[in-house]
């Protein structure tokens, strides 16, 4: 068991050791995974075999909190409690049917619904943190109960680590629509370490350099609110109520993109990024006399901030209301576009500064991939802004990778994949582990990062 570290050298040795690989397995790995960190109850069954991955089952149930215009912790908790058992029960019917030749050596379970022997998962994965602690316990305790009932190991997964590793899941999903045969060549899981990631969601905004499975250096994080939170708040202020009422969820940031760019790529094809730091300081004056300023535009500070964008939007709308004028559809559309442009250019600007910092350290050429993950990664205008910045600032060689939309938002498939990677590296979580509301990624942080909390065991 690993206790909270006070010695940086010991901490470093632990995360460096996670780069060790175990001997190749003669058979694949199958896990049942659970995610309940926020308002999505999600269960998945994920398999990895011969370098390829397959998602046998994935279903999310998002709690309905539209009446509160945002996530209500108690309502989300009740939604987890109502849906968890039914989702797990449904997932079990998607466990692979055991084949005597292919699955010899695997343990099996028999379901009452069809009496067919099915592969028992090799271990159970569940989100341990960070997130809403009460909500996390629903999934964590369910996962530990299944681990005890099936007498198989348990992995408590770091939610943000799972987001970081999602592109590696996608690369294995792309290698085969099914599971590769034993004769198939083993392809490397990509992106290979090291790579740079932007984690953007309603609760997180951070720029991370990942050097190994558990060595993640936080190069920048938000000083106030997350970009997803900022987009949701500005959407509620800008998008007409008649459109907001049509939303089936409280993910209003997605609605803001649809409102601002109804024609998708056609609408932002003319976007031109600032070619220099100096151009970032140029104000984008509008016909209505207002403009938005990117946070930290006149500094090289490696930090994000989005609260100033939301407060500026509130002032613009308040001034318009005070004047007694109605905001025209054209002005409202421009306000929506400028909100996203300003926020996304702020993300891109700090990313360029991070890459320039790595270049000075002589390590920029090692980083060939920029991963964009989290719910906001589904925004196509964000991808346009990032790609444009990299191209004009001398980082054309850096590729951008974002998972498909269904794997960008919180989901149990990414939890299962992170569990597989940790399991392959020899890690297990004991049954005394508790949910963590806060849990950093960086081993240099006070809590020791991914491997910091007690409960880890190494085989």
- DSSP string of 7-74, one letter each residue: -HHHHHHHHHHTT--PPPPSS-EEEEEEE-SSSEEEEEEEEEETTEEEEEEEEEEE---GGGTS--HH
Range 32-49 average pLDDT: 96
What pairing do the DSSP bridges indicate for beta strands 456-458 and 427-429?
A: antiparallel
Q: Are 456 and 1 in contact (CB under 8 A)?
A: yes
Pairs from 23-30 (Cβ < 8 Å, separation ≥ 24): 25/424, 26/105, 27/103, 27/105, 27/106, 28/179, 29/122, 29/123, 29/420, 29/423, 29/424, 30/95, 30/96, 30/106, 30/119, 30/121, 30/122
In this prediction, what percent of the chain has a pLDDT beyond 70? 90
CA gap 54, 179 in Å, rounded: 7
Decide if pLDDT at 208 tops 50: yes
Number of H helices and E strands in the chain, helices first, is: 13, 14
Of 368, 441, 375, 367, the residue nearest 403 (C-alpha): 375
pLDDT digits (tens, 9 = 90+) for 250-309: 778 889 999 999 987 788 888 999 999 889 988 889 999 999 988 998 899 999 999 999
Spell out where 312-440 has E strands: 369-373, 399-401, 427-429
pLDDT digits (tens, 9 = 90+) for 290-300: 999 889 988 99
- Greatest alpha-carbon span in the chain: 77
pLDDT digits (tens, 9 = 90+) for 216-225: 999 999 999 9
Residue 7: pLDDT band (50, 70, 90) is very low
pLDDT digits (tens, 9 = 90+) for 386-425: 999 999 999 999 999 999 999 998 999 999 999 999 999 9
Task: Using DSSP, state whether 127 is helix, strand or coil.
Answer: strand
Distances (CA, A) of 216 to 130, 195, 452: 15, 10, 13
pLDDT of residue 268: 85
Q: Domains in the chain, ordered, with CATH?
A: 8-188+409-458 (3.30.420.40), 202-406 (3.30.420.40)
Region of 278 on the Ramachandran plot (φ > 0 left; ψ -120 to 50 alpha; else beta): alpha
Q: Judge residue 327's burial from the number of C-beta atoms within 10 Å of its C-beta, 0-12 exposed, 13-18 middle, 19 or more buried.
A: middle
User: How much helix, strand and coil, in percent to the nearest 5, is found in the chain?
Assistant: 40, 20, 40
Mapping DSSP onto H, E and C, the string for 69-98 reads CCCCHHHHHHHHHHHHHHHHHHHHCCCCEC
Residue 17: pLDDT band (50, 70, 90) is very low
- Asked whether the whole model's pTM tops 0.85, one would answer yes
Helix 329-360 vs helix 307-323: angle between axes, to the nearest 10 degrees? 160
How far is C-alpha 114 from the chain's CA centre?
36
pLDDT of residue 56: 97
CA gap 334, 324 in Å, rounded: 20
Spell out where 102-194 has E strands: 108-110, 117-119, 123-129, 154-158
CA gap 208, 218 in Å, rounded: 5
Decide if pLDDT at 16 tops 50: no
Residue 10: pLDDT band (50, 70, 90) is very low
pLDDT digits (tens, 9 = 90+) for 70-83: 678 888 899 999 99
CA gap 127, 419 in Å, rounded: 9
């Amino acid at each position: 068991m690993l206790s909270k570290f006070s010695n940086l050298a010991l901490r470093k040795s632990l995360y460096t050791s996670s780069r060790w690989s175990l001997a190749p397995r003669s058979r694949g790995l199958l896990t049942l995974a659970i995610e309940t960190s926020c308002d999505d109850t999600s269960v998945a069954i994920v398999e990895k075999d011969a370098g390829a991955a397959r998602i046998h089952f994935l279903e999310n149930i998002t709690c309905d909190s539209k009446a509160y215009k945002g996530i209500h912790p108690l309502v989300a908790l009740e939604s987890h409690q109502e849906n968890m058992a039914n989702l797990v029960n449904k997932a079990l019917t998607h466990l692979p049917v055991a084949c005597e030749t292919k699955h010899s050596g695997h343990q099996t379970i028999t379901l009452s619904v069809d009496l067919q022997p099915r592969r028992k998962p090799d271990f159970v994965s569940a989100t341990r943190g960070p997130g809403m602690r009460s909500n996390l316990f629903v999934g964590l305790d369910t996962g530990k109960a299944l681990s005890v009932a099936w007498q198989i190991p348990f992995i408590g997964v770091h939610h943000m680590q799972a987001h970081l590793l999602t592109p590696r899941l996608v690369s294995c999903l792309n290698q085969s629509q099914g599971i590769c045969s034993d004769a198939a060549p083993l392809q490397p899981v990509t992106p290979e370490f090291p790579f740079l990631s932007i984690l953007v969601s309603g609760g997180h905004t951070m720029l991370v350099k990942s050097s190994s499975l558990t060595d993640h250096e936080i190069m920048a994080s938000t000083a106030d609110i997350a970009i997803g939170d900022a987009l949701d708040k500005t959407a509620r202020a800008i998008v007409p109520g008649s459109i907001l009422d049509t939303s089936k969820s409280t993910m209003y940031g997605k609605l803001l993109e649809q409102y601002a760019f109804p024609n998708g790529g056609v609408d932002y094809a003319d976007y031109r990024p600032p070619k220099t730091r100096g151009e970032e300081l140029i104000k984008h004056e509008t016909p209505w006399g207002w403009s938005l300023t990117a946070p930290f535009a006149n500094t090289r500070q490696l930090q994000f901030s989005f609260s100033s964008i939301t407060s500026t939007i509130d002032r613009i709308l308040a001034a318009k209301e005070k004047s007694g004028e109605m905001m025209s559809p054209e002005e409202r559309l421009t306000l929506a576009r400028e909100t996203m442009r300003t926020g996304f250019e702020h993300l891109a600007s700090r990313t360029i500064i991070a890459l320039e910092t790595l270049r000075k350290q002589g390590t920029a050429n090692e980083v060939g991939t920029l991963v964009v993950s989290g719910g906001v990664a589904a925004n196509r205008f964000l991808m346009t802004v990032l790609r444009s910045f990299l191209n004009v600032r001398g980082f054309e060689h850096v590729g951008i990778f974002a998972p498909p939309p269904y794997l960008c938002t919180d989901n149990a498939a990414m939890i299962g994949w992170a569990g597989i990677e940790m399991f392959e590296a020899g890690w297990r979580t004991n049954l005394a582990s508790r949910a963590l509301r806060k849990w950093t990624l960086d081993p240099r942080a006070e809590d020791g990062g991914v491997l910091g909390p007690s409960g880890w065991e190494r085989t």
